Amino acid sequence: MEKQPRLLSSQLLLKSRVFEVTLNRSLLTWKEIQTKKKRVSGGAHNTFKVGSYCVPVSEIVAVRETEVDSRTKDEGRWQKMSQRSTEGYPYAFTVSYVERARQHRWRCSDVTFHCSDGSLCLQWIQTIREQLALLTSRPKHLLVYINPYGGKQQGKRIYEEKVAPLFSRASISTDVIVTEYANHARDHLLKGADLRKYDGVVCVGGDGMFSEIIHGLISRTQRDAGVDQNRPEQKLVSCGLRIGIIPAGSTDCICYATVGINDPVTSALHIIVGDSQPLDVCSVHHNNTFLRYSVSLLGYGFYGDVLTDSERKRWMGPARYDFSGFKTFLTHHYYEGTISFLPATNILGTPRDKTRCRAGCYICQHNGQLLSEDGQAYKTDEDTFHSEYGSDWRVIRGRFLAINAASMSCACPRSPKGLSPSAHLADGTTDLILVRKCSRINFLRHLLRHTNKGDQFDLSFVEVHRVRRFRFVPKYCEGDLELDLREGGRGLFGHICRDHPACGCAPVNSSWNCDGEILPHATIEVGVHCQLIRLFARGIEEQPMFDDPCVPSVI
């Protein structure tokens, strides 16, 4: 690696020991000067190692002047520091930086360096600040929406106690709106907010709240650009503002699948360092009318029924999904219909390969580049689009327990590898998973494989296709019949019995679960818009970085 010119280098005191501290354009390093040696155990001979640490400048949160007291704070308790320990070093500055912990968790840690004179101390502070100012991808002013009722209703507390102090340490100013009703954030983004003032939007809540934010932002962007969202084949304009997710919901699938953990401090730090992760967005239409956008799961059958049932049990909090999941599993309803899809061809990756979408994903970059070069998915090619029964499209009629389209892995704490473990965040495709009618025990095998190492696709009744577009038409959908059935119309068609002798009144149609919202129609048409939005995230990092030399650990 090319050696970077030093911007500053001084001998400073850290915890009573003298370190050579160096700053160049990309790294802050501190190396103990060998006055004392640290014994490292484990060898036949005694070996000695000198502490040497480094932090990338891009992961420094802030630097501040620190008042030197005879008392110093150490690991949460106040300790008396001997007068000798800071003698000759009466000035100090503290660097806050990102430290990696287990399971993709980030923490904000502090290191305080003591200096022999005041001007040197100020020079360090000023030079580090100048370096931080060069990081133009960092947000300075954010618009924050808090859903006080998401998840365990802790959104406001989480933001105030864990996130706001970090934003203020990083000199990020915020306008905060605590929502007062559902769709408050969406409508504010769509109609009220002056978005030119902000470098990004932050959503404190769960997947449903995130969905509100993207609907506000995407629709606003299309409206401003004069783009008609009702045309399914329309190429959409990508959004300029990045979105940060502070997880405070029940599933927090989008946060988990893009960061690797649902932890508010980790997410806040990804926002502060100005990460950027593009994300595919599916548009969902019914009869040439725009319905909704989806970034994670579009699920018909099992996941639609789980959601429909769980919405009536919101009072249970996150546990409602377990309750409704178990209940829906027992009902074991299947649904008939026709699914047609346009397979994604000439791309890297398949839904059954072992590659995982990780930070800096090559497959996303490669496939995204292909799409932007030839505009393949949106040639506004009425021909391809309408040739449903032409050679490009595939058509499958059948009885399904579940039809799931996963535009990302949909990993979440309940299923750490997700519904489609090899799906990509930004490759312009969605993984269409068809689970045909099978026995309860087989369906259970499929479900349980979401939670263990088993391959949930390696079952005769499951198939998975990586697609750019798909359509679904339920068997029973003529005219108003569909609506009548869906709206619980207990009228003429409300109780159509099929071969369910036990209940005698199985519903003929399910509903679509669209990122946790129920769609009003079963007949839908879906297209993937490659990298339409960007998050303050970087994708899941390849491995816990404990052994990486470039974190504050002994080199």
Q: Closest approach of Cβ 103 to ligand LY3EYVUO, in Å?
A: 18
Q: Closest approach of Cβ 426 to ligand LY3EYVUO, in Å?
A: 18
Q: Distance between CA atoms of 439 and 332, rounded to whole angstroms?
A: 9
- Choose among ligand ATP, ligand LY3EYVUO, Ca ion, none what residue 367 binds, the Cβ cut-off being 5 to 8 Å by kind: none
Query: Judged by CB, which is closer to ligand ATP: 428, or 516?
Result: 516
Task: Give the helix/strand (H/E) hosting 125.
Answer: helix 118-133
Q: Which residues contact 441 (CB under 8 A, 6 or more apart)?
A: none
Lateral strand order in the sheet of 60-66: 52-56, 27-32, 17-24, 6-14, 106-115, 91-100, 60-66
User: Under the criterion CB under 5 A, does residue 469 sit at the interface with Ca ion?
Assistant: no
Residues 175-194 that bind ligand ATP (CB under 6 A): 179-184
Query: Judged by CB, which is closer to ligand ATP: 13, or 248?
Result: 248
Q: Using CB under 5 A, which of the segments 9-17, 153-161, 274-282, 493-501 binds Ca ion?
A: 274-282
- Number of residues near ligand ATP (by CB under 6 A): 22
Instruction: Report the chain's terminal Cα–Cα distance, integer Å.
Output: 16
- Choose among ligand ATP, Ca ion, ligand LY3EYVUO, none what residue 147 binds, the Cβ cut-off being 5 to 8 Å by kind: ligand ATP
Cβ(56)–Cβ(550) under 8 Å? yes
Strand partners, 528: 282
Dig out the tokens for 225 from the structure: 């650009």
Q: Which residues contact 17 (CB under 8 A, 6 or more apart)?
A: 32, 33, 35, 36, 51
Q: Distance between CA atoms of 124 and 94, rounded to whole angstroms?
A: 10
User: Under the criterion CB under 6 A, does residue 251 sit at the interface with ligand ATP?
Assistant: yes
Residues 118-147 that bind ligand ATP (CB under 6 A): 147
Query: Judged by CB, which is closer to ligand LY3EYVUO: 321, or 393?
Result: 321
Q: Which residues contact 105 (CB under 8 A, 6 or more apart)?
A: 261, 263, 265, 266
Q: Which residues contact 422 (CB under 8 A, 6 or more apart)?
A: 349, 350, 351, 352, 353, 354, 355, 356, 357, 409, 431
- Choose among ligand LY3EYVUO, ligand ATP, Ca ion, none what residue 151 binds, the Cβ cut-off being 5 to 8 Å by kind: ligand ATP
What amino acid occupies position 108? C
x/- mask, ligand ATP, residues 516-545, rule CB under 6 A, reads x-----------------------------
Residues making contact with ligand LY3EYVUO (CB under 6 A):
206-207, 251, 253, 296-297, 303, 307, 321, 325-326, 329, 410, 412, 414-415, 419, 447, 450-451, 513, 515-516
Angle at 78 between CA 75 and CA 81, to 5 degrees: 100
Cβ(425)–Cβ(280) under 8 Å? yes
Q: Closest approach of Cβ 279 to Ca ion, in Å?
A: 8
x/- mask, ligand ATP, residues 491-520, rule CB under 6 A, reads -------------------------x----
Q: Closest approach of Cβ 214 to ligand LY3EYVUO, in Å?
A: 12
The residue from 32, 59, 199, 207 that contacts ligand ATP (CB under 6 A) is: 207
Q: Using CB under 5 A, which of the segments 103-111, 198-206, 327-335, 422-430 binds Ca ion?
A: 422-430
Dihedral, CA of residue 410, residue 413, residue 417 and residue 420, to nearest 10: -20
- Choose among Ca ion, ligand LY3EYVUO, ligand ATP, none what residue 264 binds, the Cβ cut-off being 5 to 8 Å by kind: none
Q: Distance between CA atoms of 548 and 408, rounded to whole angstroms?
A: 28
The residue from 99, 233, 252, 280 that contacts Ca ion (CB under 5 A) is: 280
Q: Distance between CA atoms of 458 and 95, rounded to whole angstroms?
A: 50
Q: Distance between CA atoms of 233 and 388, rounded to whole angstroms?
A: 13
Query: Judged by CB, which is closer to ligand ATP: 182, or 497?
Result: 182
- Choose among ligand LY3EYVUO, Ca ion, ligand ATP, none what residue 303 binds, the Cβ cut-off being 5 to 8 Å by kind: ligand LY3EYVUO
User: Under the criterion CB under 5 A, does residue 283 sit at the interface with Ca ion?
Assistant: no
User: Under the criterion CB under 5 A, does residue 407 sit at the interface with Ca ion?
Assistant: yes
The overall longest dimension of the chain from CA atoms, in Å, is 90
Q: Closest approach of Cβ 347 to ligand LY3EYVUO, in Å?
A: 24
Among this protein's residues, is 353 annotated catalytic? no
Residue 415 per-residue DSSP state: B
- Closest residue to Ca ion: CB criterion: 280
- Closest residue to ligand LY3EYVUO: CB criterion: 516
User: Under the criterion CB under 6 A, does residue 232 sit at the interface with ligand ATP?
Assistant: no
Q: Closest approach of Cβ 515 to ligand LY3EYVUO, in Å?
A: 4
Number of C-alpha atoms within 13 angstroms, CB side, residue 378?
21
Cβ(473)–Cβ(526) under 8 Å? no
Q: Pairing relation of β-strands 517-518 and 200-205?
A: unpaired
Give the number of other CB atoms < 10 A from CB of residue 154. Answer: 14
- Choose among ligand LY3EYVUO, ligand ATP, Ca ion, none what residue 325 binds, the Cβ cut-off being 5 to 8 Å by kind: ligand LY3EYVUO
Nearest alpha-carbon partner for 295 in 253, 354, 236: 253
Query: Judged by CB, which is closer to Ca ion: 215, or 424?
Result: 424
Q: Closest approach of Cβ 431 to Ca ion, in Å?
A: 8
**DSSP code per residue over 185-203:** HHHIIIII--GGG-SEEEE
Query: Judged by CB, which is closer to ligand ATP: 147, or 376?
Result: 147
Exactly one of 74, 199, 207, 322 is catalytic; which is it? 207
From residue 336, how far is each of 11, 472, 490, 510, 526 by CA, in Å? 73, 10, 20, 10, 19
The residue ranges that bind ligand ATP (CB under 6 A) are 147-151, 179-184, 205-209, 212, 249-252, 516
The residue ranges that bind Ca ion (CB under 5 A) are 280, 407, 424, 427
Catalytic residues: 207
